[in-house]
Amino acid sequence: MNRKSGYGKLVRDRIPQIIREKGAEPVTYVASPDEYRNRLRDKLGEEVTEFLAADDANAPEELADVLEVLHALAAVLGVDAGQLEKIREAKASERGGFANRIVWTGNR
């Protein structure tokens, strides 16, 4: 079934099964590759928003959700988790990470 991308939301693969186990029957469809990519981008925004709103106790779980979406987006782009980590490491080696807590306020 093909639906407009504005209807419904992308959910984790086991959510329909979990809904069934609770006695309801979910209505779902499989997104096309283009819709999937767009919905993953939307999902990333949703998960980042949830992370930003979370307190310190819930932040790790929300951050894990962000990471799950990042891995899915990378896969859509043909990049596996190992390749993504190598790209991250190369950027960190070239430009540094964020561990030193440096805040830039402009140039003189």
Task: Give domain status of residue 45, yes or no.
Answer: yes
pLDDT digits (tens, 9 = 90+) for 30-79: 999 999 999 999 999 999 999 999 999 999 999 999 999 999 999 999 99
Report the distance separating Cα 19 and Cα 28, nearest Å: 11
Supply the mean pLDDT for the chain.
Answer: 94
Contacts of 57 (CB under 8 A, 6+ apart): none
The answer to the question of residue 48 being in a domain is yes
Q: What is the pLDDT of residue 28?
A: 96
Domain count for the chain, please give it: 1
Domain span at 65: 32-95
Q: What is the pTM of this model?
A: 0.85
pLDDT (0 to 100) of residue 7: 84
Q: Does residue 79 sit within a domain? A: yes
Single-letter code of the amino acid located at 2: N
| Sign of the Cα pseudo-torsion (87, 88, 92, 93, in order) | negative
